Amino acid sequence: MTGWLEQMVEVIADRGRELLGRRGDAGAQTSTAQLCRTLLKGQGEASGIALAREILSRFQAMDADQRLEFFRLLARDFGPDLATMQTAMARYAKTEAAADLARLAVAVEPPRQELFRRLNMAPCGTVALVALRGELLRQLKAEPELKAVDVDLRHLLSSWFNRGFLRLQRIDWNSPAQTLEKLINYESVHAIHGWDDLRRRLMPDRRCFAFTHPAMPGEPLIFVEVALVQGVSDSVGELLDPDSPVLDAARADTAVFYSINNTQLGLRGISFGNFLIKQVLTELRAELPELATFVTLSPMPRFAESVRAAAAGQLQDLSRAQLAGLIEDHGDALRAASGEDDPVAGLLRPLAARGGAGEVLRAPLGSIALAYLQLRDERGHMLDPVAGFHLANGARLERINAFADPSAERQHASFGCMVNYLYDPDEVEANHEAFVASGRVALSKPLARLQRQASGTAEA
């Protein structure tokens, strides 16, 4: 059905292009800025679709500098008119009439929002606008004045990609080859090394679910990989081993969410991952009632960077002195293993060697990780983005696993540490409310005990 509709839109666009050609509204000599203004003023559906397609085609053909100039154009020339806003605001303040409130709402909305809506009429317009925002996000750090453009585009995409439009799809070995190939290309947490590796991840003791959208058929927007196992996994190696034995799914008691991937840069900041996890949890409970435990095995992407910054006195909320205090009980062992007098240096030296000192590092890494996973940045956001995601969704910080991932990438990013976040269906809502309202992090009993010990309040 979607393909038929796209073909129909293409036909309408072609007829509209013929009309524009006769009117001379979309020739090569017409600037992209003028095309945008014409699109905003136009009334005809066919000519509007043709103009939208022409503008998006031009954008796709632009080089990086030309795209940056196009974004500047949107920021400069397609924002709200200040004088019109002030007039509408003054009138509504005087009358408080519903009609004047409606006029104020129209005046406040930037014309570029309507421009984006009309661009979305083009064939595959939604796909093109998602890609356009991806390019915009790449420019924001160097061009902060483009933030207003992103706010408008993100506002529209949040509406177009709300949960009501998303469809949950289970992906297995019988799914279309194009979809399977996209899993390989989009997997960014644990790389899929070819088709044999993918096949193992789709065996009967594995599950893969994705959200799709009608405007982007066959394109997974976000997907999660799940392992059905016995007991909570504390190492990713056993989950990723392509030669591991296949477990009868009916014998599994635990579902481990070991990889969650957002696939579209242009949808960054538009959160539907929380809906995905909760719906997958519901699906798994319905399919396999014997499943009793639902946990993640999650990375800590900024852990090593933060520990090094704390050791250098460059982390605002964790000083070098506090770092030393967290590992004070392990100081003698670290000094003996490293030959360093200072316990912080005694920690960092074997960590830099990637494998030195072995078990001596397990306990101090756990203590530091527990503190790190509860740190917030200057905006009040969790320093660790993965922790922020799961804790806000109502998960409990269950267990910290040192040496869980020996890969070079994870060693560099987190010293190989990973985290189990537990989703207890009976506690998710209460945990979510406590985290959102007061910032309280739900901890398992062992981690709560470790935290009390670290703060000097442990019971004798």
- Give the amino acid at 250: A
Domain co-membership, 179 together with 75? no
**Crossing angle of the two packed helices 32-41 and 45-61, in degrees rounded to 10:** 160
Domain co-membership, 304 together with 327? yes
C-alpha distances out from residue 385 to 306, 331, 433, Å = 13, 30, 18
What's residue 354's pLDDT?
60
Domain co-membership, 146 together with 172? no
58: Cβ contacts below 8 Å, ≥ 6 apart = 32, 35
The CA-CA-CA angle for residues 370, 373, 378, to 5°, reads 135
290: Cβ contacts below 8 Å, ≥ 6 apart = 250, 251, 252, 253
Question: Residue 439 corresponds to which tokens in the numbers above?
Answer: 């910032």
- Alpha-carbon span 330 to 453, nearest angstrom: 13
- Please choose, from the candidates 116, 254, 297, 263, the residue with its C-alpha nearest in 3D space to the C-alpha of residue 185: 263
Domain co-membership, 168 together with 154? no
Residue 282 belongs to some domain of the structure: yes
Residue 459 belongs to some domain of the structure: no
Domain co-membership, 247 together with 200? yes
Helix spans in 96-236 (H): 98-108, 111-119, 125-140, 147-160, 177-186, 194-201
376: Cβ contacts below 8 Å, ≥ 6 apart = 317, 382, 383, 439
Q: What is the CATH number of the domain that holds 34?
A: 1.20.140.90
Domain-ending residue, one of 160, 176, 198: 160
Domain-ending residue, one of 101, 125, 160: 160
pTM: 0.86
What's residue 7's pLDDT?
53
Q: At residue 59, what are phi and psi to the nearest 5 degrees?
A: -60, -45
Which domain does 195 fall in, by range?
164-296
Residue 61 belongs to some domain of the structure: yes
SS3 128: helix
345: Cβ contacts below 8 Å, ≥ 6 apart = 338
String of b and e for 219-233 (b: at least 16 CB within 10 Å)?
bbbbbbbbbbbeebb
Residue 460 belongs to some domain of the structure: no
- Alpha-carbon span 150 to 157, nearest angstrom: 10
What's residue 6's pLDDT?
56
CA-based Rg of the chain, rounded to a whole angstrom?
27
Domain co-membership, 328 together with 410? yes
Mean pLDDT per 10-residue interval, the chain, length 460 residues: 51 51 60 95 83 96 96 96 93 94 93 97 95 97 95 96 94 96 95 96 97 93 97 94 95 97 94 89 96 97 95 92 92 88 89 70 94 92 94 96 91 94 95 94 96 64
Domain co-membership, 303 together with 327? yes
Domain-ending residue, one of 111, 126, 160: 160
DSSP per position, 361-417: GHHHHHHHHHHHTT-B-TTS-BSSHHHHHHHHTT-EEEEEETTS--SHHHHHHHTT-
Domain co-membership, 39 together with 145? yes
Domain co-membership, 24 together with 134? yes
What's residue 52's pLDDT?
95
The CA-CA-CA angle for residues 137, 141, 146, to 5°, reads 65
Domain co-membership, 316 together with 442? yes
Query: Residue 443 has what DSSP assignment?
Result: B
1, with CB counted inside 10 A (0-12, 13-18, 19+), is exposed
- Please choose, from the candidates 284, 247, 281, 454, the residue with its C-alpha nearest in 3D space to the C-alpha of residue 371: 454
- Alpha-carbon span 389 to 256, nearest angstrom: 16
The CA-CA-CA angle for residues 46, 50, 53, to 5°, reads 140
Question: Residue 41 corresponds to which tokens in the numbers above?
Answer: 């003023």
Domain co-membership, 129 together with 189? no
Answer for the pair 56, 128: CB distance below 8 angstroms, yes or no: yes
Domain co-membership, 178 together with 147? no
**CA dihedral defined by 345, 350, 352, 355, rounded to 10 degrees?**
-160
Answer for the pair 106, 114: CB distance below 8 angstroms, yes or no: no
- Count of domains for the chain: 3
